[in-house]
Amino acid sequence: MIAVEENPQGVQQAEIVVAIPTYNEAAFIGRAVEIVGRGLREHYADRSSVIINCDNASVDGTRDVFFQAATDVPRLYLSTEPHRRGKGANIRMLFEKVASLAPHAVLILEADITNLTPMWVPMFIEPIFRGAAYVTPLYMRHKYESTVTSAIVYPMLRCLYGRRVRQPDAGDCAFRGDMADIFLKASAWSEAVEGRGIDVWMAGVALTSRLPVWQTIIGSPKKHRAKDPFAQLPYRFPHALSALFDQMEAYAEFWKRVKWSKPTALFNSDGLEMDTPPLVEINAPRLYQRFLEGFQENEALWRQIFDPMTMNKLEEIRRMPYEQFSFPSQTWAALLFDAACAYRGLTVQERERLLDSLVPLYLGKVVAFVKRTERLSVQQAEEYVEQTCAIFEESKPYLLERWPS
């Protein structure tokens, strides 16, 4: 998997590894390396450390900027083959390298975080030194940021594996060094995981490992280059759901025994003041039209997949005018459960078609969420997400009944 390795300082072992996955991130990686280096020197000067650039054969000079950045922390560069793309491919190289470096703590940070500070390093790594095996961040988010997480990933992972991890696919995480071997041996690795599904996949592996999973409160938003929240949907959505559904099959004997969820340990709960997240605007009327258009395109397939009673509920939702539009969470949970069950018996092409057909349903759920929460604060909207998760857990017997033996 590692096609290129450059280790100019001959690093053979390190107590702390900080990895920065990249593909053409020359504009950002220099600053990220310098800030991470400061964080390591200010908080872990007595521990050996290395910064690793896990690259996808960038052609914009990412490698050069990485090595030119102003820090005295040792650096190591890894790259995939030029034709191999995806964050998961980057992280797979990291797992392999970590196995030989034998660190105690590993931190993954994306390169384009514009508000990254040296304090983020201990906020992720310190929980590992205090007993955590896997750490996910709690960023301060606008209520409409990352609706794939709020509507699908968080409710599903919580319902399946019984732990409340609010931002399991945030893009950044830390883990104990010996977990690299667990990741390397874990089931359900796929093209989707090698692409955008890696964060969901890693969370699923961690939540089924029976090792301590913590959340660390960052206290600020994660700010990066301006992105349309729905521009990456054609890539992120199918990869995230594919990883989720594949792991459901791999870990069925685990999640079948889970009845209710439990809270997860929080780190830094008394720490930083909360910052205000950037505004996220959603064109709900346009998403509503895409929901209706998707109904026309996918109705025949949905009737093959969804339970007749659930399909009847979906018909009722379709007939709602925009002004009164709603999408009950019970129906949403049933649709996702039905889709997960159907996914098991399909070919690769049929699975792709199924996942594509779920996009307009998800957009409909987003519209309903916007209309339900448009006058609510971030905290009030978060309470609504928690209510949705509780409904998923209450609906789990439906999934158990439908799941093919």
CB-facing half-sphere around the CA of 328: CA atoms within 13 A: 13
Give residue-wise pLDDT tens across range 37-87.
Answer: 999 999 999 999 999 999 999 999 999 999 999 999 999 999 999 999 999
Instruction: Report residue 96 CA to chain centroid gap.
Output: 21
**Given a cut of 80, is residue 186 above it in pLDDT?**
yes
Handedness of CA 361, 367, 371, 372 (dihedral sign): positive
User: What average pLDDT does the structure give for the chain?
Assistant: 96
pLDDT band at residue 274, thresholds of 50, 70 and 90?
low
- Token output for 332: 């949403």
Give residue-wise pLDDT tens across range 89-148.
Answer: 999 999 999 999 999 999 999 999 999 999 999 999 999 999 999 999 999 999 999 999
State the DSSP H helix or E strand holding residue 115, giving kind and residue range, or none if neither. none
pLDDT band at residue 227, thresholds of 50, 70 and 90?
low
**Mean pLDDT value of segment 213-217:** 98
Work out the burial of residue 276: count CB atoms within 10 Å of its CB; fewer than 13 is exposed, 13-18 middle, 19 or more buried. exposed
pLDDT band at residue 151, thresholds of 50, 70 and 90?
very high
What phi-psi label fits residue 297: left (phi over 0), alpha (psi between -120 and 50 degrees) or beta?
A: alpha
265, β-bridge pairs: 214
CB-facing half-sphere around the CA of 347: CA atoms within 13 A: 2
Domains, the chain, ordered by start: 1-117 (3.90.550.10), 284-402 (no CATH)
**Given a cut of 90, is residue 15 above it in pLDDT?**
yes
**Given a cut of 80, is residue 226 above it in pLDDT?**
no
Q: Pick the more confident residue, 273 or 57.
A: 57
* In the chain, % of residues over pLDDT 70: 98
Give residue-wise pLDDT tens across range 175-185.
Answer: 999 999 999 99
**Mean pLDDT value of segment 306-319:** 97
How would you label 127-161 residue by residue, b for 16+ Cβ within 10 Å and e otherwise? Answer: bbeeebbbbbbbbbbbbbbbbbbbbbbbbbbbbbb
Q: What is the reported pTM?
A: 0.96
Crossing angle of helices 154-161 and 329-343, rounded to 10°: 70
In this predicted structure, which of 19-33, 60-74, 260-274, 308-322 has the lowest mean pLDDT? 260-274
pLDDT band at residue 272, thresholds of 50, 70 and 90?
low
**Mean pLDDT value of segment 330-354:** 98
- Token output for 232: 């990456």
**Given a cut of 80, is residue 213 above it in pLDDT?**
yes
Which pLDDT does position 276 carry in this prediction?
Answer: 81
Per-residue DSSP letter, 323: G
Which pLDDT does position 282 carry in this prediction?
Answer: 93
DSSP character string of 267-288: ESTTSSPPPPPPP----HHHHH
Which pLDDT does position 233 carry in this prediction?
Answer: 78
